[in-house]
Amino acid sequence: MKSKIIIILSITFLGIWITGCTEDAAQTKPATIGIYYFNGWSGKHHLDGDPSAPWAKNAPRCLTKRFVDEFSGREPVWGWRNDTQAIMEREIDLAADNGVDFFAYCWYWRDNKGSINEQAIESLDLHTCIDFHLNAKNKNRIRFTFLVANHGGSEIIGVENWKAAVKYWAKFFRDPQFVTVDGKPLIVIFNPGGITNEDMAGMQEVARQEGFKNGIAIAGCRPSSREKSGFTHTTNYAIAPGAYNGIDAKQNYDPIIKETKEEWKGSEQQPYIPLITAGWDQRPWVGPDGQGGVEGNYFDISPMDFKNFLKESIQWMNDHPKETTKEKIVLIYAWNELGEGGYIVPTRDDPEAAKLKVIGEVMKGK
Protein backbone atom coordinates (compact mmCIF):
# COMPACT_ATOMS: atom_id res chain seq x y z
CA MET A 1 0.00 0.00 0.00
CA LYS A 2 2.81 2.36 0.93
CA SER A 3 4.58 1.76 -2.38
CA LYS A 4 1.37 2.50 -4.27
CA ILE A 5 1.02 5.84 -2.46
CA ILE A 6 4.62 6.73 -3.32
CA ILE A 7 4.05 5.88 -6.99
CA ILE A 8 0.84 7.95 -7.11
CA LEU A 9 2.52 10.90 -5.43
CA SER A 10 5.46 10.63 -7.81
CA ILE A 11 3.20 10.58 -10.85
CA THR A 12 1.19 13.51 -9.48
CA PHE A 13 4.35 15.51 -8.82
CA LEU A 14 5.66 14.67 -12.30
CA GLY A 15 2.37 15.81 -13.82
CA ILE A 16 2.54 19.13 -11.96
CA TRP A 17 6.17 19.60 -13.00
CA ILE A 18 5.42 18.87 -16.67
CA THR A 19 2.40 21.17 -16.62
CA GLY A 20 4.47 23.94 -15.04
CA CYS A 21 7.20 23.55 -17.62
CA THR A 22 4.67 23.61 -20.44
CA GLU A 23 3.06 26.77 -19.12
CA ASP A 24 6.45 28.45 -18.70
CA ALA A 25 7.41 27.52 -22.25
CA ALA A 26 4.11 28.84 -23.60
CA GLN A 27 4.59 32.14 -21.78
CA THR A 28 8.20 32.65 -22.84
CA LYS A 29 8.96 34.16 -26.23
CA PRO A 30 12.39 35.33 -27.31
CA ALA A 31 10.99 38.63 -28.63
CA THR A 32 7.87 40.72 -29.21
CA ILE A 33 7.25 40.85 -32.96
CA GLY A 34 5.64 43.86 -34.61
CA ILE A 35 5.08 44.22 -38.36
CA TYR A 36 4.44 47.36 -40.40
CA TYR A 37 1.14 47.14 -42.27
CA PHE A 38 0.48 49.19 -45.45
CA ASN A 39 -3.15 49.75 -46.39
CA GLY A 40 -2.64 50.62 -50.05
CA TRP A 41 -4.73 47.70 -51.27
CA SER A 42 -8.15 49.26 -50.82
CA GLY A 43 -10.03 52.24 -52.22
CA LYS A 44 -10.17 53.34 -55.84
CA HIS A 45 -7.33 53.11 -58.34
CA HIS A 46 -5.83 56.59 -58.66
CA LEU A 47 -2.64 56.21 -60.66
CA ASP A 48 -2.04 57.52 -64.16
CA GLY A 49 -3.45 55.46 -67.03
CA ASP A 50 -6.76 54.35 -68.41
CA PRO A 51 -9.05 53.29 -65.51
CA SER A 52 -11.20 51.37 -67.99
CA ALA A 53 -8.32 49.08 -69.00
CA PRO A 54 -8.94 45.41 -68.11
CA TRP A 55 -6.08 45.30 -65.60
CA ALA A 56 -7.50 48.31 -63.72
CA LYS A 57 -10.99 46.88 -63.22
CA ASN A 58 -11.69 46.86 -59.48
CA ALA A 59 -8.03 47.68 -58.89
CA PRO A 60 -7.07 48.97 -55.44
CA ARG A 61 -5.43 52.34 -55.01
CA CYS A 62 -1.77 51.35 -55.45
CA LEU A 63 -1.88 48.67 -58.13
CA THR A 64 -0.02 49.37 -61.40
CA LYS A 65 -0.02 47.87 -64.87
CA ARG A 66 3.52 46.66 -64.30
CA PHE A 67 2.33 44.75 -61.22
CA VAL A 68 -0.19 42.85 -63.30
CA ASP A 69 2.05 42.30 -66.34
CA GLU A 70 5.38 41.49 -64.71
CA PHE A 71 4.85 40.84 -60.99
CA SER A 72 1.56 38.99 -60.78
CA GLY A 73 3.21 36.44 -58.48
CA ARG A 74 3.07 39.04 -55.69
CA GLU A 75 -0.71 38.97 -55.68
CA PRO A 76 -1.85 37.78 -52.23
CA VAL A 77 -3.78 34.52 -52.16
CA TRP A 78 -6.94 36.50 -51.33
CA GLY A 79 -6.43 38.86 -54.31
CA TRP A 80 -5.02 42.35 -54.75
CA ARG A 81 -7.70 43.91 -52.55
CA ASN A 82 -7.63 43.42 -48.79
CA ASP A 83 -10.58 45.59 -47.78
CA THR A 84 -13.03 43.15 -46.24
CA GLN A 85 -13.64 42.10 -42.66
CA ALA A 86 -13.09 38.45 -43.56
CA ILE A 87 -9.64 39.12 -45.03
CA MET A 88 -8.56 41.11 -41.97
CA GLU A 89 -9.64 38.31 -39.66
CA ARG A 90 -7.74 35.86 -41.84
CA GLU A 91 -4.63 38.09 -41.63
CA ILE A 92 -4.92 38.35 -37.86
CA ASP A 93 -5.04 34.56 -37.56
CA LEU A 94 -2.12 34.12 -39.96
CA ALA A 95 0.00 36.59 -38.01
CA ALA A 96 -0.92 35.30 -34.57
CA ASP A 97 -0.43 31.66 -35.57
CA ASN A 98 3.12 32.52 -36.60
CA GLY A 99 4.28 34.41 -33.52
CA VAL A 100 3.42 37.98 -34.53
CA ASP A 101 2.31 40.17 -31.61
CA PHE A 102 1.13 43.35 -33.30
CA PHE A 103 0.55 45.28 -36.52
CA ALA A 104 1.84 48.84 -36.86
CA TYR A 105 -0.73 50.39 -39.19
CA CYS A 106 0.15 53.38 -41.36
CA TRP A 107 -1.86 56.38 -40.12
CA TYR A 108 -2.29 59.52 -42.24
CA TRP A 109 -3.12 63.06 -41.13
CA ARG A 110 -5.70 65.04 -43.06
CA ASP A 111 -6.03 67.65 -44.52
CA ASN A 112 -2.82 68.42 -46.44
CA LYS A 113 -0.57 70.12 -43.89
CA GLY A 114 -3.46 72.00 -42.28
CA SER A 115 -5.38 71.33 -39.08
CA ILE A 116 -6.80 67.89 -38.43
CA ASN A 117 -10.00 67.03 -40.28
CA GLU A 118 -11.60 64.27 -38.25
CA GLN A 119 -14.41 63.69 -40.73
CA ALA A 120 -11.92 63.18 -43.56
CA ILE A 121 -9.84 60.82 -41.42
CA GLU A 122 -12.84 58.75 -40.37
CA SER A 123 -13.93 58.29 -43.99
CA LEU A 124 -10.46 57.85 -45.47
CA ASP A 125 -9.98 54.50 -47.18
CA LEU A 126 -6.34 54.58 -46.10
CA HIS A 127 -7.55 53.58 -42.63
CA THR A 128 -10.00 50.82 -43.49
CA CYS A 129 -7.55 48.29 -42.06
CA ILE A 130 -7.78 49.91 -38.62
CA ASP A 131 -11.57 49.83 -38.68
CA PHE A 132 -11.55 46.17 -39.70
CA HIS A 133 -9.05 45.35 -36.96
CA LEU A 134 -11.16 47.04 -34.30
CA ASN A 135 -14.25 45.15 -35.44
CA ALA A 136 -12.58 41.76 -35.90
CA LYS A 137 -14.10 38.89 -33.97
CA ASN A 138 -10.54 37.61 -33.34
CA LYS A 139 -9.17 41.07 -32.45
CA ASN A 140 -7.84 39.83 -29.12
CA ARG A 141 -5.28 37.62 -30.89
CA ILE A 142 -3.07 40.51 -31.98
CA ARG A 143 -2.36 44.04 -30.80
CA PHE A 144 -1.92 47.21 -32.84
CA THR A 145 -0.24 50.59 -32.97
CA PHE A 146 0.32 53.37 -35.52
CA LEU A 147 3.16 54.26 -37.83
CA VAL A 148 2.46 57.97 -38.29
CA ALA A 149 3.08 58.44 -42.04
CA ASN A 150 3.78 62.16 -41.85
CA HIS A 151 4.96 62.69 -45.43
CA GLY A 152 3.70 63.21 -48.98
CA GLY A 153 0.87 65.62 -48.16
CA SER A 154 0.16 64.09 -44.76
CA GLU A 155 2.65 66.16 -42.80
CA ILE A 156 1.70 67.26 -39.31
CA ILE A 157 3.13 70.75 -38.85
CA GLY A 158 3.25 72.75 -35.64
CA VAL A 159 2.81 71.94 -31.97
CA GLU A 160 -0.93 72.63 -31.94
CA ASN A 161 -1.50 70.07 -34.69
CA TRP A 162 0.61 67.47 -32.92
CA LYS A 163 -1.43 68.11 -29.78
CA ALA A 164 -4.63 67.64 -31.78
CA ALA A 165 -3.30 64.37 -33.17
CA VAL A 166 -2.64 62.96 -29.69
CA LYS A 167 -6.09 64.06 -28.54
CA TYR A 168 -7.57 62.17 -31.51
CA TRP A 169 -5.43 59.08 -30.88
CA ALA A 170 -6.31 58.93 -27.19
CA LYS A 171 -9.44 56.85 -27.89
CA PHE A 172 -7.19 54.24 -29.55
CA PHE A 173 -4.62 54.41 -26.74
CA ARG A 174 -7.38 53.37 -24.32
CA ASP A 175 -8.00 50.17 -26.25
CA PRO A 176 -6.51 47.27 -24.23
CA GLN A 177 -5.01 45.91 -27.47
CA PHE A 178 -2.98 49.04 -28.18
CA VAL A 179 0.77 48.41 -27.88
CA THR A 180 2.54 49.79 -24.83
CA VAL A 181 6.17 50.13 -23.77
CA ASP A 182 6.79 50.47 -20.04
CA GLY A 183 3.04 50.87 -19.74
CA LYS A 184 2.95 53.82 -22.16
CA PRO A 185 1.12 53.76 -25.51
CA LEU A 186 3.69 53.44 -28.31
CA ILE A 187 3.58 55.28 -31.64
CA VAL A 188 6.21 55.33 -34.38
CA ILE A 189 6.92 58.53 -36.34
CA PHE A 190 7.97 57.84 -39.93
CA ASN A 191 9.57 61.22 -40.68
CA PRO A 192 11.41 62.81 -37.73
CA GLY A 193 12.66 65.68 -39.91
CA GLY A 194 9.64 67.90 -39.44
CA ILE A 195 9.05 67.35 -35.75
CA THR A 196 10.67 69.33 -32.91
CA ASN A 197 11.24 68.70 -29.22
CA GLU A 198 8.59 71.38 -28.59
CA ASP A 199 6.12 69.38 -30.68
CA MET A 200 6.81 66.26 -28.67
CA ALA A 201 6.58 68.10 -25.36
CA GLY A 202 3.13 69.26 -26.45
CA MET A 203 2.20 65.68 -27.32
CA GLN A 204 3.22 64.50 -23.86
CA GLU A 205 1.26 67.33 -22.24
CA VAL A 206 -1.95 66.31 -24.01
CA ALA A 207 -1.34 62.62 -23.29
CA ARG A 208 -1.19 63.39 -19.56
CA GLN A 209 -4.33 65.51 -19.83
CA GLU A 210 -6.04 62.52 -21.45
CA GLY A 211 -5.25 60.36 -18.46
CA PHE A 212 -1.91 58.83 -19.44
CA LYS A 213 -0.04 60.18 -16.45
CA ASN A 214 3.32 58.78 -17.56
CA GLY A 215 2.92 60.10 -21.11
CA ILE A 216 3.43 58.12 -24.29
CA ALA A 217 6.35 56.39 -26.00
CA ILE A 218 7.37 58.11 -29.24
CA ALA A 219 9.76 56.17 -31.51
CA GLY A 220 11.40 58.08 -34.35
CA CYS A 221 12.48 56.37 -37.56
CA ARG A 222 15.81 57.21 -39.20
CA PRO A 223 19.12 58.12 -37.52
CA SER A 224 18.20 61.82 -37.20
CA SER A 225 15.67 60.93 -34.48
CA ARG A 226 18.61 60.29 -32.13
CA GLU A 227 19.41 64.01 -32.26
CA LYS A 228 16.09 64.96 -30.63
CA SER A 229 15.56 64.18 -26.97
CA GLY A 230 11.78 64.27 -27.38
CA PHE A 231 11.90 60.87 -29.02
CA THR A 232 11.73 58.32 -26.24
CA HIS A 233 12.86 55.54 -28.61
CA THR A 234 14.45 55.18 -32.03
CA THR A 235 13.93 52.66 -34.82
CA ASN A 236 13.74 52.44 -38.64
CA TYR A 237 11.17 51.71 -41.33
CA ALA A 238 13.03 50.01 -44.21
CA ILE A 239 16.76 49.68 -44.77
CA ALA A 240 17.78 49.12 -48.39
CA PRO A 241 21.14 50.57 -49.47
CA GLY A 242 21.04 52.12 -52.94
CA ALA A 243 17.26 51.84 -53.09
CA TYR A 244 17.01 55.02 -55.20
CA ASN A 245 20.39 55.17 -56.87
CA GLY A 246 19.02 55.18 -60.43
CA ILE A 247 20.60 51.83 -61.27
CA ASP A 248 18.40 48.76 -61.64
CA ALA A 249 20.67 46.17 -60.01
CA LYS A 250 20.05 42.93 -58.13
CA GLN A 251 21.91 42.54 -54.85
CA ASN A 252 22.22 39.83 -52.22
CA TYR A 253 21.12 40.41 -48.61
CA ASP A 254 24.57 41.31 -47.26
CA PRO A 255 24.39 45.12 -47.77
CA ILE A 256 21.09 45.25 -45.88
CA ILE A 257 22.55 43.22 -43.02
CA LYS A 258 25.62 45.44 -42.83
CA GLU A 259 23.73 48.74 -42.86
CA THR A 260 21.10 47.45 -40.45
CA LYS A 261 23.66 46.35 -37.87
CA GLU A 262 25.17 49.83 -37.97
CA GLU A 263 21.81 51.09 -36.69
CA TRP A 264 21.76 48.74 -33.74
CA LYS A 265 22.62 51.15 -30.96
CA GLY A 266 20.56 52.70 -28.22
CA SER A 267 20.76 53.93 -24.64
CA GLU A 268 18.79 53.74 -21.41
CA GLN A 269 17.46 57.22 -22.17
CA GLN A 270 16.55 56.39 -25.78
CA PRO A 271 16.28 52.63 -26.40
CA TYR A 272 16.50 51.30 -29.94
CA ILE A 273 13.88 48.96 -31.44
CA PRO A 274 15.63 46.71 -34.00
CA LEU A 275 14.25 46.68 -37.55
CA ILE A 276 14.48 43.70 -39.89
CA THR A 277 13.82 44.26 -43.60
CA ALA A 278 11.99 41.31 -45.15
CA GLY A 279 12.60 42.47 -48.72
CA TRP A 280 13.13 45.39 -51.06
CA ASP A 281 12.23 45.39 -54.74
CA GLN A 282 10.25 48.42 -55.89
CA ARG A 283 10.29 47.60 -59.62
CA PRO A 284 6.46 47.26 -59.84
CA TRP A 285 6.20 50.92 -58.85
CA VAL A 286 8.82 52.39 -61.21
CA GLY A 287 9.09 52.81 -64.98
CA PRO A 288 6.40 53.84 -67.49
CA ASP A 289 3.98 51.09 -66.44
CA GLY A 290 4.53 51.82 -62.76
CA GLN A 291 4.44 55.20 -61.07
CA GLY A 292 7.55 56.54 -62.78
CA GLY A 293 10.26 57.48 -60.33
CA VAL A 294 13.84 56.36 -59.85
CA GLU A 295 14.95 52.77 -60.06
CA GLY A 296 17.52 51.34 -57.70
CA ASN A 297 18.93 48.25 -56.06
CA TYR A 298 16.67 45.31 -55.32
CA PHE A 299 17.57 42.42 -53.08
CA ASP A 300 17.47 38.65 -53.06
CA ILE A 301 16.42 37.71 -49.53
CA SER A 302 15.80 34.03 -48.87
CA PRO A 303 13.64 32.82 -45.99
CA MET A 304 16.73 31.31 -44.36
CA ASP A 305 18.68 34.60 -44.63
CA PHE A 306 15.71 36.37 -43.09
CA LYS A 307 15.40 33.80 -40.32
CA ASN A 308 19.07 34.00 -39.39
CA PHE A 309 18.99 37.79 -39.31
CA LEU A 310 15.91 37.80 -37.09
CA LYS A 311 17.81 35.53 -34.70
CA GLU A 312 20.76 37.93 -34.76
CA SER A 313 18.52 40.86 -33.83
CA ILE A 314 17.21 38.92 -30.84
CA GLN A 315 20.74 38.00 -29.79
CA TRP A 316 21.73 41.68 -30.00
CA MET A 317 18.87 42.56 -27.62
CA ASN A 318 19.93 39.78 -25.24
CA ASP A 319 23.49 41.10 -25.28
CA HIS A 320 22.49 44.78 -24.92
CA PRO A 321 19.44 44.85 -22.62
CA LYS A 322 20.02 48.48 -21.59
CA GLU A 323 20.01 49.64 -25.22
CA THR A 324 16.60 48.28 -26.18
CA THR A 325 13.08 47.86 -24.81
CA LYS A 326 12.31 45.63 -21.85
CA GLU A 327 9.64 44.04 -24.03
CA LYS A 328 12.37 43.09 -26.56
CA ILE A 329 10.42 44.45 -29.51
CA VAL A 330 11.54 43.73 -33.07
CA LEU A 331 9.86 45.58 -35.94
CA ILE A 332 9.64 43.91 -39.34
CA TYR A 333 9.26 45.65 -42.66
CA ALA A 334 6.66 44.66 -43.73
CA TRP A 335 3.43 42.68 -43.81
CA ASN A 336 2.28 43.83 -47.25
CA GLU A 337 4.49 46.48 -48.85
CA LEU A 338 4.00 44.62 -52.12
CA GLY A 339 5.03 47.57 -54.28
CA GLU A 340 8.38 47.91 -52.51
CA GLY A 341 9.06 44.21 -52.14
CA GLY A 342 8.74 44.18 -48.36
CA TYR A 343 6.09 41.56 -47.68
CA ILE A 344 5.56 38.26 -45.90
CA VAL A 345 1.89 37.56 -46.71
CA PRO A 346 1.03 34.41 -48.68
CA THR A 347 1.10 35.14 -52.41
CA ARG A 348 0.60 33.30 -55.69
CA ASP A 349 4.36 32.67 -55.86
CA ASP A 350 4.63 31.82 -52.17
CA PRO A 351 1.27 30.48 -50.94
CA GLU A 352 2.87 28.99 -47.82
CA ALA A 353 4.32 32.39 -46.79
CA ALA A 354 7.81 31.05 -46.11
CA LYS A 355 9.13 34.16 -44.33
CA LEU A 356 6.07 34.36 -42.11
CA LYS A 357 6.56 30.69 -41.22
CA VAL A 358 10.15 31.24 -40.12
CA ILE A 359 9.04 33.98 -37.72
CA GLY A 360 6.88 31.35 -36.04
CA GLU A 361 9.79 28.94 -35.96
CA VAL A 362 12.10 31.48 -34.31
CA MET A 363 9.43 32.35 -31.74
CA LYS A 364 9.26 28.64 -30.88
CA GLY A 365 13.02 28.46 -30.48
CA LYS A 366 13.70 26.59 -33.69
pLDDT digits (tens, 9 = 90+) for 309-350: 999 999 999 999 999 999 999 999 999 999 999 999 999 999
Write down the pLDDT at residue 46: 62
Write down the pLDDT at residue 123: 63
Q: Where is pLDDT greater, at 119 or 72? A: 72
In a domain, 352, yes or no: yes
In sequence order, the β-bridge partners of residue 276 are 332
| Domain carrying residue 195 | 36-363
Among residues 125, 42, 28, 142, the alpha carbon closest in space to that of 82 is found at 42
Among residues 229, 330, 327, the alpha carbon closest in space to that of 270 is found at 229
Cα–Cα distance measured from residue 142 to residue 145, given in angstroms and rounded to the nearest whole number: 11
Cα–Cα distance measured from residue 154 to residue 146, given in angstroms and rounded to the nearest whole number: 14
Residues 41, 336 contacting (CB under 8 angstroms): yes
Q: Where are the strands (E) in 41-194, listed by range?
A: 102-107, 143-148, 180-181, 184-189
Give the pairing of strands 184-189 and 233-235. Answer: unpaired
In a domain, 67, yes or no: yes
Write down the pLDDT at residue 230: 97
Residues 115, 163 contacting (CB under 8 angstroms): no
In a domain, 311, yes or no: yes
DSSP string, 239-285: --TTTTSS--EEEESHHHHHHHHHH----SSS-B--EEE-----GGG
Q: Where are the strands (E) in 273-349, listed by range?
A: 275-277, 297-300, 329-333, 336-337, 342-343
User: Does the bond joining 289 to the residue before it have cis omega, within 30 degrees of 0?
Assistant: no
Task: Specify the number of domains making up the chain.
Answer: 1
pLDDT at 218 over 70: yes
Residues 327, 30 contacting (CB under 8 angstroms): no
pTM (2 decimals)? 0.91
3-class secondary structure, 363: helix
Cα–Cα distance measured from residue 65 to residue 217, given in angstroms and rounded to the nearest whole number: 40
Cα–Cα distance measured from residue 71 to residue 284, given in angstroms and rounded to the nearest whole number: 7
pLDDT digits (tens, 9 = 90+) for 7-59: 444 434 344 343 334 334 345 899 999 999 998 898 887 655 566 778 888 88
Write down the pLDDT at residue 11: 39
In sequence order, the β-bridge partners of residue 331 are 34, 275
CATH classification at residue 318: 3.20.20.80
Write down the pLDDT at residue 61: 86
In a domain, 6, yes or no: no
Q: What is the DSSP letter of 272?
A: B
Q: What are phi and psi of 159, to 5 degrees?
A: -60, -35
Write down the pLDDT at residue 248: 86
Residues 219, 234 contacting (CB under 8 angstroms): yes
Cα–Cα distance measured from residue 124 to residue 83, given in angstroms and rounded to the nearest whole number: 12
Is residue 287 very low, low, confident or very high in pLDDT (cuts 50, 70, 90)? confident
Write down the pLDDT at residue 363: 98
Is residue 5 very low, low, confident or very high in pLDDT (cuts 50, 70, 90)? very low
In sequence order, the β-bridge partners of residue 297 are 249
Residues 162, 115 contacting (CB under 8 angstroms): no
In a domain, 13, yes or no: no
Is residue 292 very low, low, confident or very high in pLDDT (cuts 50, 70, 90)? confident
Among residues 330, 341, 328, 220, the alpha carbon closest in space to that of 278 is found at 341
pLDDT at 129 over 50: yes
pLDDT digits (tens, 9 = 90+) for 223-280: 899 999 999 999 999 999 999 888 889 999 999 999 999 999 999 999 999 999 999 9
In a domain, 261, yes or no: yes
In a domain, 9, yes or no: no
Write down the pLDDT at residue 324: 98
In a domain, 231, yes or no: yes
Write down the pLDDT at residue 50: 64
What angle do helix axes 85-97 and 354-363 make, rounded to 10 degrees?
50
Average pLDDT, stretch 113-127? 76
Write down the pLDDT at residue 45: 76
Write down the pLDDT at residue 112: 66
Cα–Cα distance measured from residue 355 to residue 353, given in angstroms and rounded to the nearest whole number: 6
